[in-house]
Structure 1
Amino acid sequence: MSFDDLLKDLQGQKDVQEDPNNISLSKLFNDSFMRKHTRHQSFDEFNEKGNFQVQTYEDVSNILEELYDRHVARETDFRDWNHMLDTAKKEYNPS
């Protein structure tokens, strides 16, 4: 396969729809979602308020669940992290 063919192949992958279970947190919890459902302008701001450093799903899983759920309940429209995550996945629009 030539370099040009490879490049065309890679560019074509952009048209593939994202798997809703593997969307990055920054895309899933975009600023619009955060303003609609929280007291914060961004996901980063939301996490800074709770002194959490979260960039990936693994980061969230490394936090004591009860602590993060309490932060979510206090700072958002949701009772816990799982409800926030489920709603974000339902509302996510990749366009």
Structure 2
Amino acid sequence: MKIEGLDNLEKSLNELSANAKKLSGTSAIPFDELFPPSFMRHHTDSSSIDEFLDNSPFTIESEEDFLAIPDEEWDNYIVAHTDFSSWEEMQGKAAEDYVVKQLGF
């Protein structure tokens, strides 16, 4: 007796497992991958992460510049230009979307 669909299920589970293994070694995700244009258009008033950073009131030319922005000021910018209440919330949603996409859902 053969049950229909088990081959497809097994293939899907194997792909999911392979994608999960790839993710397990990821330690840093570039901003342009974490915040793709589709994410930015849906959740912000910018079409890309570069545009979003460029439109901010801060001079951001390096990672150090970005890290030097006071958290409260950055959160105020996030609230004014996204549908998130904080940078932490925005990063969390972006990470969630990234993982879902990488897993193949």
The alignment's TM-score, normalised by the length of structure 2, stands at 0.64
Specify every segment of 5 or more residues in structure 2 that has no aligned partner in the other structure, as ranges: 1-20
Aligned residues: 78
Structure 1 54/30 Cα, relative in aligned 2: closer, same or farther at 3 Å?
A: farther
Counterpart position of 2:53: 47
When you count helix as a share of all residues, which structure comes out higher?
Answer: 2
Counterpart position of 2:41: 35
Q: How big is the alpha-carbon RMSD for the aligned residues of Structure 1 and Structure 2?
A: 2.1
Deviation at 1:54, TM superposition (A): 6.2
Identity of aligned residues (%): 33
* Structure with larger RCO (C-alpha < 8 A, sep 6+): 2
Specify every segment of 5 or more residues in structure 1 that has no aligned partner in the other structure, as ranges: 1-15
List aligned pairs for 1:1-95, cutoff 5 A: 17-18=22-23, 19=26, 21-52=27-58, 53=60, 56=63, 59-92=65-98, 93-94=101-102
Counterpart position of 1:10: none
The alignment's TM-score, normalised by the length of structure 1, stands at 0.70
